[in-house]
Chains A and B, each alone.
Chain A
Amino acid sequence: MSNATPADIDDGIASADPADPLGPGSMLYELSHQVRWGLVATRAIVLEAAHPQIGAALITNSTFVAHPWRRLRNTVLSAQRMVNPDERVRQREAARLNRLHARITGTDAEGRPFNAADPEARAWVVATLFESTVTMCRLSGESLDSPALDRLYSEFLAYLALTDPDGGKLPPTLREFWPYYDFMIEERLENTEAVHIILDRLFAQVPAPPLLRDSPAAWAAGRALAGPVATAITVASLPERLRARLGLPELPGTRALTHTAYLSTRLATRLLPEAWTRLDTVMTMLDPAYAPPLGGDALGGLRRGAAKAGALLRLLTPAPMEPAADESRLRSASRFFAEVLDQTGNGYLDWPDLAAMAREIATRLDLDTPDEDRLFAAFADWWRELQKELDTDGDGRITGQEYAAATAAMTSSALIRVAEVLFDVTDADGDQTIDAREYRALFHTAFNHTASNHTASNHDTSNHDTGGGDERLTRAEFVRRFLNFMAGRGHSDAYDGLFAQS
């Protein structure tokens, strides 16, 4: 046990504003940019899911099972915005999170209402992140001493205070935190469905990250080995009392495995070149759509480096079976339903699915309140229309069969309205066309030629940029492409990236 802040966390701290608990120089800032933060986030989400309100919100509204990589990307970007050196960026992100959570309400399977903006639930989310960070340090063999713990706790309090004007419902001191934490574990947490979905389904079925999407066989083989290991490590790191309540036995050897995993991440963080263990590097490699908050050269360099590493990995991965030519281009109604419409992966189309689409758009475009409200209102109108026309058995949700029976109805007036609002909010400068910059903000990719206009765009990564420059999309063309995609009539890499890919 050390007397000071562990060197791993202190390393790389540049200029520190002692009065600022969140920006560069804070422990939280440094940790949230390291890859091993992934261990913290994974463990924390299991603890969160055991909270009945959060578990219900996750089950009914979250896309983390069907689209885990997209969810991870959004979570990482959000966390990094919350510790951004610029206070305005933090405030803006906090306000966005509040709006996002305020929209997630409902009742759980037992009829109890839940609300993602509930202060107690939000406090628990921050508590799990704090406690998981402490656990990560302990299991990595670098337990935090008392001053470091106090400092880390005060940083998490500041983090919570950003989203809660009343300062949040966490105890004000670390001394009071541990009884609160014990109480939550003993009295509040439950054996929820969400916990088991995360442990049983997420790790076992996590789809390939964008980097390896073309090598499903290699991914499945790796996952068959790594999935159970990830589950075992996460389970073994949970508090024993909770594990017993959840009916999760501790398998022999998993404690050693967990220590080894945590210790390796610590050693990797210390010994490998810093860039390799930065979250930005790994995320950019796994997911080209990930856009870390860096400027100009740094971002370009990171992207190029990651693109090369990704290219090499793909070239060295055994080649998968080549699909038949048509299979990759056309999507049956049932695949479209599963991959695009059913965002939460529960087998039905209901409001949370459409809300997830609106949320993804709002997140990517970083919309302000009026635009976000317009977008959600347009999606809500579309949902009402879909419900009226397709929900033949009146159970409030649409099945794959109900959808397939009436695909034509997808080009409804409400959907056209969604397309138009999407155009308006994407057209940031209001010049009635979508230029390359606006296009990239929404789709995270350069102008790309869809099936109706195919050229070598997919293949062209040569030095001279084609298809950039002055190309613009008019309102009519934008609406046409959107409707084509939503009606399942046309393949679009851009919209696949936005809605379909994991």
Chain B
Amino acid sequence: MACVMDGNGRWAAQRSLPRTAGHRAAEAAVIDVIEAAHTAGVEWLSLYAFSTENWRRPAAEVDVLLRLVRRAIRKHALSLHARGIRCRFLGVSDPRIPPPLARDIADLMALTRDNRRMTLTVAFDHGGRRDIVEAARSLIRDGVPPEQVTEESFARHLPHPDMPEVDLVIRTSGEQRISNFMLWQVAYAEWAFPSVLWPDFRAEHFWECLDVYRRRDRRFGGVQVPTATGKGP
């Protein structure tokens, strides 16, 4: 399952605080959701932290965001590792990412690479279209003949090809858009749009969304396909 963490700026504006205060407050929600997903036995959790479009925000805000991410990585690395969580990043290719942050990201991935209890994928500097374009380039580079390009073979050229399709996406703050998030993987995802802003999102909201998802009848375009279970949301 995946979360689009939306509403930090509005959360701050409602309190007459700078937007960056919303990003700071978001950290608690992130940790709460990871903990809740871990407890619920979710094996794959993805969080949309920063899109390729977010670079257009004011430089000062981007700077604060980058620092917050670095601080959060360093603060929580050990506890994530101790919980058996494998951390991976999706995107992370812009040269504007400061080298120390890139180093910490690489370190966090190296540290947790053999963990299997849960895989946490942080989409950072991520764009769903860019991933698809990159996969197409990779296919062409490998000289795959057109007739051999199938959905399966294409998916093998996406980043983290072992990642299963997303079953449920939670987008907070009531906004109902995809925003270029993991376009390939969310093709058949169910979406939940709780109105709560991300900094206020807590484990109980997470459980509610999970509950709604369980009650949905997933048909994958057909009529009688059974509900997907097992590998988990």
Chain A residues within CB distance 8 Å of chain B: 214, 304, 307-308, 310-312, 314-316, 319-320, 322-323, 325, 328, 454-456, 458-464
Contact between chains at A315 and B111 (CB < 8 Å): yes
Q: Is the CB of A316 within 8 A of B78?
A: yes
Q: In the complex, A93 Cα to B98 Cα: how many Å?
A: 42
Q: What is the distance, in angstroms, from B74's C-beta to the closest C-beta of chain A? A: 5
The answer to whether A315 and B108 have CB atoms under 8 Å apart is yes
A315 pairs with B107, CB closer than 8 A = yes
Give the distance to chain B from A501, nearest Cβ to Cβ, in Å: 15
Q: A319-B100, A454-B95 are in contact. Are A462 and B160 (CB under 8 A)?
A: yes
**A121-B92 Cα distance, complex, nearest whole Å:** 54
Q: What residues of chain A lie closer than 8 Å to B160, measured between beta carbons? A: 462-464
Chain A residue at smallest Cβ distance from B99: A328
**By the criterion CB–CB under 8 Å, are A322 and B78 in contact?**
no
Set A310, A312, A316, A459: member contacting B105, Cβ < 8 A = A459
Q: Which of A455, A459, A463 contacts B113 (CB 8 A)?
A: A463
Cross-chain contact B102 with A308 (CB below 8 angstroms): no
With contacts A456-B93, A461-B110, A462-B88 known, is A315 near B100, CB below 8 A? no
A458 lies within 8 A of B108 (CB): no
Residue B129 interfacial (CB < 8 Å): no
Closest to B75 in A: A315
Q: Taking the complex as formed, is B36 at the interface, i.e. its CB lies under 8 A from any CB of chain A?
A: no
- Distance (whole angstroms) from the CB of B164 to the closest CB of chain A: 15
Work out how many contacts link A and B, with CB atoms closer than 8 A: 78
Given known contacts A308-B110, A311-B107, A311-B110, A459 and B97 CB-to-CB distance under 8 angstroms:
yes
Interface centre among B74, B93, B107, B109 (most CB of A within 10 A): B107
Q: Restricting to B76-130, which residues have a CB under 8 Å from any CB of A?
A: 77-78, 81, 88-89, 92-93, 95-100, 102-111, 113-114
Contact B78 A311 (CB under 8 A): no
9 residue pairs, one from A and one from B, having the closest CB atoms: A311-B107, A456-B93, A311-B111, A311-B110, A315-B77, A459-B102, A461-B106, A307-B110, A459-B92
Sample of 18 A–B contacts (CB below 8 Å): A304-B113, A304-B114, A307-B110, A308-B111, A308-B113, A311-B111, A312-B81, A314-B107, A316-B77, A316-B78, A319-B70, A323-B100, A456-B92, A459-B102, A459-B105, A462-B159, A462-B160, A464-B161
Q: Smallest distance from the beta carbon of A328 to chain B beta carbons, Å?
A: 6
Q: Does B152 contact A (CB under 8 A)?
A: no
Determine if B25 is an interface residue (Cβ-Cβ < 8 Å).
no
Instruction: Identify which of B89, B97, B103 gathers the most chain A CB atoms within 10 Å of its CB.
Output: B103
Do A325 and B98 touch across chains, with their CB atoms under 8 A apart? yes
Contact in complex: A214, B103 (CB < 8 Å): yes
Query: Is B162 part of the binding interface, using a Cβ–Cβ cutoff of 8 Å?
Result: yes
B9-63 residues with Cβ-Cβ distance < 8 A to A are none
State whether B77 touches A458 (Cβ < 8 A). no
Contact partner, A314, options B95, B97, B102, B103, Cβ 8 Å: B103
**Is B196 an interface residue when CB atoms closer than 8 A count as contact?**
no
Nearest chain B residue, comparing its CB with the CB of A315: B77
- Flag whether B73 is at the interface (Cβ < 8 A): yes
Instruction: Write the nearest CB–CB distance from B177 to chain A, whole angstroms.
Output: 27
A455 cross-chain contacts in B, Cβ below 8 A: 93
CB within 8 A of A461: which of B73, B109, B159, B161?
A: B109
Tell me which residues across on chain A come within 8 A of B161, comparing CB atoms. Answer: 464
* CB proximity of A236 to chain B, nearest CB, Å: 38
With A312-B78, A316-B78 already in contact, the answer to whether A458 and B111 are too (CB < 8 A) is no
Cα(A319)–Cα(B72), bound, Å: 12
- A319-B74 in contact (CB<8A): yes
Q: Specify the chain B residue showing the minimal Cβ separation from A451.
A: B95
